[in-house]
Structure 1
C-alpha cells in the first residue's frame, strides 16, 4: 500500500510540475496568438503607406514590375511575388539583399517602389516565429510541441478529475459566491477550465498539426494523394512543404507532404510546350498570373519563383476559406502546369484539419471568428494565472513543492491511466514522462540513502 501511494504521489508531482512547465508557454502562445489573429487589421494600420495605392486605369504586367525591381536592385535574388490582392493594394516582392530578406512593395500602376520591410523582423513575422519555435528553431519547435502535448494531457486528466459527479456542480459548473481566498481562486480555475476545456483542446490539437515532429508524422500518415497526379512529372526530391518557414506560411498543410516537381530544361522538346503561347519565354511571370486567373485561383495568392535550374513557379493560395485553397506548379521553361492541387483532392482528414486551422487562426468567419479566438486566448491566460496562484497558495509552507495527494485515490488512478495513454499518442510527452519518472525515482532513492551515511569516527 505504501509503494502504491508512493507511485501516485510521484505521478501527482508530475501533474503539478507539468502544469508549471506548461503555464509560461500557454501565456506566450495566447499573447502572440491574439496579435496574429488581428494581422489583417494591424498590417493595414501599420503599413498603410506600403500596402495601399491609388487606383489607376492601366496596371503594369508582373514582368514589367519585376524589370523595374531588377533595375533598382540588380544584385538581389527574388524569391517570391505577391500580386495585388485588390484593386487598391500594392504588389509585393520578397528579395534577398546581402543576406537580408526584405519585402519590397511596388505600385502596380506607376511602377513606383513604395518601400521595403524586413521580412523576418517585422511584428507579424516575429510573433509567428515566437508562436512556432520561440525564435530558436528546431529546439523551440520541440519545446512548443512538448508544452502543447502536456497541455492536452492536463486538460483531459483534469476534466476527468473535476467532472461533477454529485447532484451539485458548485465549484465546477459555477463558482461559489461565498468563496474567499484560496477557495475563490480554486473555483475560478475549475469553472473557467471546465467550460473552456473544449475550446482549449481544439486550439491545442489544431496547433499540434503544425509541429515539426508530431505534426509531420500526422501529416505523413493521413495526407495521401493519388500517385498518378505526379506520374508524368519530373520530381525535385523535395516536398512542397519546403516552401514554408516558421516566419511565413506559403502552402497549405494538406499539401506539405506532396512532391515538389522539377522543371525540365528540354520541356519544349518533350511536347509540354505545344499549347503554350510564344510569348511565354519572355513574359513567364505574367503568364503564371494569367494562368492562375484562368484556372479560377482567387486573389491573395503568392508565386514562389524558381530557385536553380530545376526550380518551378509555385502558385499557392492558403485561403481563409480552405475550399478555395490552390497549389499549382509551373515549369520555368515552358510555362506548362506540372501539378494543380485543390480542395477536391484533399482527403477527409486534410479537409478537417484545414478547416480547424482556419478557425484556429480566426479567418473562416471574419471578425466574429477573430473575437471568439481572442476570447479563448484570454481565457487560457486567466486559467494559467489562476492555476499559478492556486499552486502558490497550496504549496507546502516555505518551499516550491506540490500540494498533498488527492484523497480520492481511485479517481486519481484512472487519471494516471489517461496520462499514460496520451503519452503513447504524443511521443514527446511520453518520453518526457519516462524521463521525469526515472529522475524523480533516482532523486528519491538518493534522499533515502543520505541519512544512512555516517562519517567515520
Structure 2
C-alpha cells in the first residue's frame, strides 16, 4: 500500500524546527546587541561624559578655527566629517582618519580645546552596531544576518500557523503557569511568539531594509525620486550609500540609492586640479557650509561630510529620530551652491513608511516609550529563542537529532503553502537555502531515519 504524502502542517513543523535551529543563535545575538544600541542616548553620556559634555558659554569658536585646531593636532590626518554641537552643553566632533584609524575627536566649541579622542570603530556602540549588522566580518556577515532575518520571518509565519487557536486557548493565548517542565516551556514559547508575532515581523522587515543584498534590491525597486530633481546638476556614478558604514549612519535610508552630484563646471574648476579624481581643494570654508545648514533650517544633530575628490561635494545630512526632520544637502565645494536639498516631503510613500519603520526599530521615534517597547520585544525574542531550544532539548530522543517525524494525520492548509512559496520568492537567499535544506532533509535525514527504523526493527 502506497504511503500518503506528508501534509503541509507536518512540513511546517519541520521547517519551524530547522528555522529555529539556525535562527536561535542569531536572534540572541541581534537582541543583545540591539539592546546595547537601543540605549545609546543614555549610555553615551554616562560612558563618555568627559568627551561629550561641556559647560555652556556665550561665544563659540568658528567651525574654521575648530578645524584648524584639529589639523594642528593631527597634521598627518584627513578630516572626514564634522558634527556641530547638538545643543549648548555638548562638544563638537570631528571624524579624522589618522594612521589608518578612524577617530572621533571631541573639541570644546567655546574654547577650542581638544577634549580627547575615541576609536570610531571600537567603542561599545560601534562594536554593537557592527556585530548587529555584519558580525564584524564584512559582506559574509551581512549575508548571514540577512539569511537569519529571512528565516526569522519563516519562523514567525510557520509558528503562528502551528499554534493558531483551534478551539483551544490555554497554552496559546495564555500560559498554563501551573504546569511544569516541557509543557511550561512550550507554553511560554507559544504564547510569547503568538502575541509578539506582528511586532517581531516589523522588527525583522525594517531591519532587512539595511542589508546589502535584499535591502539594496528593495531600495532600487521602491525608493524613487523625480528625475527632474537631478536634471540640472552634474551627477557622479557614486551613490549616497557610500557615505554610510556599518558603524556610522550618515544619510537616511531613503537617500542611499541616489547619485552623488559633482562640484563645479569641468572647464571652470577641473582646470585647477590635475585630474577629476584628484584631492579635494574646497574654496568655501567649513563655516560657510555650516551657515548653509542654519539658513536652510536643518535641525541640530546633522553632520557635514567633506569632499574627498576634486569633483566631490560637501554633504550636510541629518538622519533624524523623527524622519520628518530628515535632510540631505549636497553643496558645491567651490561655489557654495546647494546642488540638491532633499527632505521628507520629497520621499515616496514607501520610503516614508520604511524610514518610520527604521526609527521604530531603533527605538527613536517616540523617545523612552519607544525604547521600552523595543526592549520588551528584544526580551521576548530572547525568551522565545531560549524556550525553543529547551523544548527541543527536552523532547529530543536520546542520542538523536530530534527532527519532527513525518506524520500524515494532521490537517492541511493550502493557503499556508502559497505563503511559504511567496516568502521564498520575496527573500531569494531564504528561497535558495530552503531548496538546500529540503534536499538535505530528503536525502540525508530521511535516509538516517529509515536506517534507524530498520535497525530498531531488526533488534
The reply on whether 1:434 has 2:453 as its aligned counterpart is no
Inter-partner Cα distance in structure 2 for 1:256 and 1:440: 40
SS of the counterpart of 1:42?
A: helix
The reply on whether 1:170 has 2:170 as its aligned counterpart is yes
The reply on whether 1:138 has 2:144 as its aligned counterpart is no
Unaligned runs of 5+ residues in structure 1 are 271-279, 453-457
SS of the counterpart of 2:257?
A: coil
Unaligned runs of 5+ residues in structure 2 are 271-280, 455-459
TM-score (norm 2): 0.91
SS of the counterpart of 1:86?
A: coil
Q: CA deviation at 1:57?
A: 1.7
Q: Is the 8 A contact 1:328 1:340 kept in 2?
A: yes
| Farther-moved stretch of structure 1 (359-368 vs 178-187) | 178-187
The residue aligned with 2:285 is 284
Cα RMSD of the aligned pairs, angstroms, is: 2.3
Q: Within 5 Å, which residues of 2 pair with 1:165-314?
A: 165-166=166-167, 168-264=168-264, 284-314=285-315
Query: What per-residue deviation string (whole Å, max 9, x for no partner) do you get for residues 284-337 of structure 1?
Result: 211111111111100000011000111110001000000000000001111110
Q: CA deviation at 1:412?
A: 6.4
Inter-partner Cα distance in structure 2 for 1:222 and 1:238: 19
Q: CA deviation at 1:351?
A: 0.5
Q: CA deviation at 1:202?
A: 1.0
Q: Within 5 Å, which residues of 2 pair with 1:11-410?
A: 12-166=13-167, 168-264=168-264, 284-405=285-406, 409-410=410-411
Inter-partner Cα distance in structure 2 for 1:445 and 1:383: 28
**Change beyond 3 A, Cα 1:282–1:234:** closer
**Change beyond 3 A, Cα 1:261–1:314:** same
Q: Is the 8 A contact 1:396 1:403 kept in 2?
A: no
Query: What per-residue deviation string (whole Å, max 9, x for no partner) do you get for residues 122-166 of structure 1?
Result: 100000000000001111111111111111111112112211121
Inter-partner Cα distance in structure 2 for 1:302 and 1:267: 30
**Change beyond 3 A, Cα 1:204–1:342:** same
The residue aligned with 2:274 is none
**Change beyond 3 A, Cα 1:439–1:402:** closer
Inter-partner Cα distance in structure 2 for 1:9 and 1:284: 67
TM-score (norm 1): 0.92
Q: CA deviation at 1:52?
A: 0.8
How many matched pairs? 442
Q: CA deviation at 1:13?
A: 3.4
**Change beyond 3 A, Cα 1:396–1:412:** farther
Q: Is the 8 A contact 2:26 2:145 kept in 1?
A: yes
Inter-partner Cα distance in structure 1 for 2:399 and 2:157: 31
**Change beyond 3 A, Cα 1:175–1:219:** same
**Change beyond 3 A, Cα 1:58–1:148:** same
Inter-partner Cα distance in structure 1 for 2:215 and 2:359: 16
